[in-house]
Amino acid sequence: MAKEHTSSGPHTDPAGGWGSARAVGSILVREHRLMHGTKVLMHQNKPDGFMCVSCSWAKPAHPHPFEFCENGAKATAWDITSKQVPASFFDSHTCTELESWSDHELEAIGRLTVPMRWNAATDKYVEIGWQQAFEEIGALLRGRDPDSAVFYTSGRASLETSYMYALFARMYGTNNLPDSSNMCHESTSVGLPKTIGVPVGTVTLEDFEHTDCMLFFGHNTGTNAPRMLHPLQDARKRGVPIVTFNPLREPGLVGFTNPQSPVEMLTGKETQISTQYLQLKLGGDTAALAGLCKWLIEADDAARLDGTEPVLDHAFIAEHTHGFEAFAQAMRQTTWTDIERESGLSRAQLAEAAATYARAKAAMLLYGMGLTQHRNGVQSVQMVTNLLLLRGNIGKPGAGVCPIRGHSNVQGQRTVGITEKPEHVPADKLRELYDFDPPAKKGMNTVEACEAILDGRVTAFIGLGGNFARATPDHYRMEPAWRRLDLTVGITTRLNRSHLLHGKQAYLLPCLSRIEVDRQASGEQAVSMEDSTGCFHGSRGIHEPARGKLLSEPAIVAGIAKATLPPNPGVDWDRWVGDYSLVRDAIEATYPKIFQDFNRRMWNPGGFHRPLGAAQRKWETETGKANFVVPETLSADPDMPERGGDVIRLMTTRGDNQFNTTVYALDDRFRGVHGTRKVLMMNADDMARLGLREGDTVVASTVANDGFKREVDGLAVHPYNIPAGCAWSYYPECNPLIPLWHHARESKVPAAKSVPITVRKEA
């Protein structure tokens, strides 16, 4: 392995540009797919092609000739790689040995190609027939308390697979259907229904053409939704101001050179993205948003006295909202001293941002994990809608709330039944269609599933994609508990750490990627997904499948379901697998308002939108109006023990060369980190105060009075442009530091962006 080194000098290149073009080429070469891969990429995010497996950004009706980004190309190359793993690979590797491999090394062996079962005597995965695997898994599930099993879904699985999987779990008898959104935008799904009556964002791609102001909170767009830089660049060319709130100066939000524009590439001309960049403290968002609201409300008070034009949209507030007076009063009483202390921003900075927002006729607020993965994540999401409501910025062109979702179908899975909350399931419809009583008991979300694995209530875990054991908090505490499970099943494309932390009986079931051609009884199949803007699209695989014995995800789900459940004349699993359009008919029958004429409309260029009351100013809330919510506190983490001045707040975040726990390479080009991910980036003053020098190796320890020791060692410390008292490092390497109970209070999203740690030099 190359000598590990890191440099963290300031980044000078814009996002995109030649660096991006070079990176696309090099990953195709590494996966041995240069010529063919280039052809495949031409079909990415095209109306008749496949939906990118990377982020969930919207797919336009009129795509660019190359409708993919650097990171989408990496994700494609990772799936269509020529590196394919024969069963014999495992002859020479025990699970115990593989545990010492890095996340990157495990996945880099390539695509899994045969179903396997773990052999306890040899500690190796060994090939098994599909039918035998299904029957054994079915036998292990049958006769067990359904609530002792967990059916996890990572956000990549299609609407068709997700619908079948959720139906299977409910027919089996449980709502234990946690998914990756429990670690991600659940703060949105919990926060928005109370304020605006919908669980998802209201902004569509067209809104970007009509907006005249954008406020960005806690999203690293250049890395995590790079195609979104195109509408941002277009908006900037129209003179639209973009105000960014982020503790780090993320290059993608500073400037962008479009790698698909020859002129920009040749001239090196970059577009400035953010017109004001506010480096707030980690978790300072509620306070910053309170500052903006306070400024607007007080400017409006002053305007009333002076008889000048109002700053707030009083007609909208009167007709459409509830709770304004109490909210306005709370903001008037909140002091600038508190706002400045908690946000780390000055009153003048916030006033400038508020004035920009106040000048806009139509403004949108966009946000990512920097907002949701906090103890007060739900509250910050609701502060976003408070700010929008003050000026009627919901339900008109160019305005609205835009939570930028993670996985490519994470939003859609919730729409078709992947949820632990029975109140979100159309039980009557399921009863009518399939003649069974769906379970009424609330199931477990991600954190609750981890708690139940720890205390032995859960004994079987099925993972439809994902890397649950690595993506969740408290890694080291959880590790021994995984081994006590009776059964673990991984439906997967590649090997990852969750497959090594397995139960007493363990199965690995390799599936097709959706980039691959999926041939079933009625011919080649298509699948569908919902993007970040609530739009549904068809997706057709175009690449010849990896060699071996892979099955499609619907076929695997059906295989396990058939082996587990008694026959039900209402569900013909085999017919569904033979023709996915029948699954879409079933989805339409279950959710007729959303999926009307599904099989046809999924091929509309640009997809079709789900109906959203809030976008029409119809408020499906308890009050029948959009609700203002008074924040309980401005503090990022009111319950966390502080320990004098030496406690640092740590965010764990993604780098440029990863998709969640999938690490493509060890470089984070944009942030100037090379050859390693074991770094801790700190404010220079904090380093000086703690007696640390650049390059020192340190141990980070979590500050929590719960009797558990949580440490990650071997981190090289570097000075970085980040507010005092804050630090950052990589996810998933630092997941062992996050206590399981350290999650957003109402949504239980692990608070991965504010872990209180102390740092000491390694002896």
Ligand X SMILES: Nc1nc2c(c(=O)[nH]1)N[C@H]1C(S)=C(S)[C@@H](COP(=O)(O)OP(=O)(O)OC[C@H]3O[C@@H](n4cnc5c(=O)[nH]c(N)nc54)[C@H](O)[C@@H]3O)O[C@H]1N2
- How many CA within 13 A on the CB side of residue 620? 12
Give the nearest distance from C-beta 184 to Mo ion in angstroms: 3
Candidate list 31, 67, 207, 250; residue touching ligand X; CB under 6 A: 250
Examine residue 45 and tell whether it contacts ligand X (CB under 6 A): no
Tokens 């700010």 correspond to: 387
Phi, psi of 29, rounded to the nearest 5 degrees: -65, -45
CA angle 498, 499, 504 (to 5 degrees): 110
CA angle 192, 193, 196 (to 5 degrees): 70
Give the nearest distance from C-beta 722 to Mo ion in angstroms: 22
Please give the Cα distance from 763 to 409 (Å, whole number). Answer: 46
Stretch that binds Mo ion, among 30-38, 405-413, 598-606, 634-642 (CB under 5 A): 405-413
In the 3-class helix/strand/coil scheme, how is 197-233 assigned residue by residue?
CCCCCCCCCCHHHHCCEEEEECCCHHHHCHHHHHHHH
Neighbour order of strands in the sheet with 15-16: 15-16, 255-257, 271-272
**Please, which residue, 393 or 467, has the CB nearer to Mo ion?**
467
Distances (CA, A) of 248 to 123, 383, 635: 44, 21, 20
Task: Name the residue number minimizing CB distance to Mo ion.
Answer: 406
| Tokens at 178, concatenated | 């946690």
Please give the Cα distance from 276 to 345 (Å, whole number). Answer: 12
Candidate list 661, 683, 702, 729; residue touching ligand X; CB under 6 A: 661
Give the nearest distance from C-beta 316 to ligand X in angstroms: 26
Task: Report the length, in residues, of the chain.
Answer: 763
Examine residue 368 and tell whether it contacts Mo ion (CB under 5 A): no
Amino acid in position 597:
D
Candidate list 77, 150, 184, 555; residue touching Mo ion; CB under 5 A: 184
**Please, which residue, 406 or 732, has the CB nearer to Mo ion?**
406
Helix (H, G, I), strand (E, B) or coil at 300: helix
**Please, which residue, 443 or 466, has the CB nearer to ligand X?**
466
**Please, which residue, 406 or 465, has the CB nearer to Mo ion?**
406
Candidate list 202, 223, 525, 621; residue touching ligand X; CB under 6 A: 223
Q: Binding mask 379-418 vs ligand X (x if CB under 6 A, - otherwise)?
A: ---------------------------xx-----------
Give the nearest distance from C-beta 761 to ligand X in angstroms: 24
Please give the Cα distance from 405 to 419 (Å, whole number). Answer: 16
CA angle 637, 643, 645 (to 5 degrees): 95
Do 542 and 49 meet the contact criterion of CB atoms below 8 Å apart?
yes
Binding residues for ligand X, total number by CB under 6 A: 61
Site for ligand X in 552-591 (CB under 6 A): 553
Helix ranges (H only) for 157-284 are 159-172, 186-196, 207-210, 221-224, 229-237, 251-254, 262-267
Stretch that binds ligand X, among 91-99, 485-493, 609-617, 675-683 (CB under 6 A): 485-493
Do 119 and 502 meet the contact criterion of CB atoms below 8 Å apart?
no
**Helices vs strands, H then E, count in the chain:** 32, 31
Give which of 184, 140, 157 is closest to 489, Cα–Cα. Answer: 140
The one of ligand X, Mo ion, none whose footprint includes residue 161, by CB under 5 to 8 A per kind, is: none
The one of Mo ion, ligand X, none whose footprint includes residue 370, by CB under 5 to 8 A per kind, is: ligand X
Phi, psi of 755, rounded to the nearest 5 degrees: -100, 120
Give the nearest distance from C-beta 512 to ligand X in angstroms: 8
Stretch that binds ligand X, among 178-186, 524-532, 541-549, 581-589 (CB under 6 A): 178-186
Examine residue 183 and tell whether it contacts ligand X (CB under 6 A): yes
Stretch that binds ligand X, among 231-239, 307-315, 617-625, 646-654 (CB under 6 A): 646-654
**Please, which residue, 322 or 502, has the CB nearer to ligand X?**
502
Give the nearest distance from C-beta 45 to ligand X in angstroms: 14
Please, what is the end-to-end C-alpha distance for the chain in angstroms? 25
Q: Binding mask 64-93 vs ligand X (x if CB under 6 A, - otherwise)?
A: -------x----------------------
Give the nearest distance from C-beta 148 to ligand X in angstroms: 21
Please give the Cα distance from 323 to 337 (Å, whole number). Answer: 25
Candidate list 401, 471, 551, 587; residue touching ligand X; CB under 6 A: 471
Give the nearest distance from C-beta 69 to ligand X in angstroms: 8
Q: Binding mask 99-128 vs Mo ion (x if CB under 5 A, - otherwise)?
A: ------------------------------
Stretch that binds ligand X, among 195-203, 213-221, 325-333, 612-620 (CB under 6 A): 213-221
Tokens 């290059």 correspond to: 251
Examine residue 406 and tell whether it contacts Mo ion (CB under 5 A): yes
Instruction: Report the interhelical angle of 580-590 vs 427-434 (nearest 10°).
Output: 130
Please give the Cα distance from 585 to 588 (Å, whole number). Answer: 5
Q: Binding mask 701-740 vs ligand X (x if CB under 6 A, - otherwise)?
A: ------------------------------xx--x--x--
| DSSP single-letter state for residue 171 | H
In order, the DSSP letters of 378-419 are: HHHHHHHHHHHHHTT-SSSTT-EEEE--SBTTHHHHHHTT--
Stretch that binds Mo ion, among 43-51, 180-188, 453-461, 476-484 (CB under 5 A): 180-188
- Strand 460-464 and strand 487-492: the pairing is parallel
**Please, which residue, 430 or 740, has the CB nearer to ligand X?**
740
Candidate list 50, 357, 659, 670; residue touching ligand X; CB under 6 A: 659
Site for ligand X in 112-131 (CB under 6 A): none
Please give the Cα distance from 234 to 217 (Å, whole number). Answer: 20
Examine residue 631 and tell whether it contacts Mo ion (CB under 5 A): no
| Tokens at 111, concatenated | 């695509």
CA 666 vs. chain centroid, Å, equals: 21
Candidate list 204, 211, 246, 488; residue touching ligand X; CB under 6 A: 246
- How many CA within 13 A on the CB side of residue 2? 9
Give the nearest distance from C-beta 572 to ligand X in angstroms: 23
Give the nearest distance from C-beta 567 to ligand X in angstroms: 26
**Please, which residue, 51 or 311, has the CB nearer to ligand X?**
51
Candidate list 47, 251, 466, 756; residue touching ligand X; CB under 6 A: 466
- Under the rule (CB under 5 A), what is the footprint of Mo ion? 184, 406
- Under the rule (CB under 6 A), what is the footprint of ligand X? 54-55, 71, 107, 154-156, 180, 183-184, 217-220, 223-225, 245-248, 250, 280, 282-283, 285, 368-370, 373, 406-407, 464-468, 471, 491-494, 496, 511, 513, 553, 651-654, 658-662, 731-732, 735, 738, 752-753
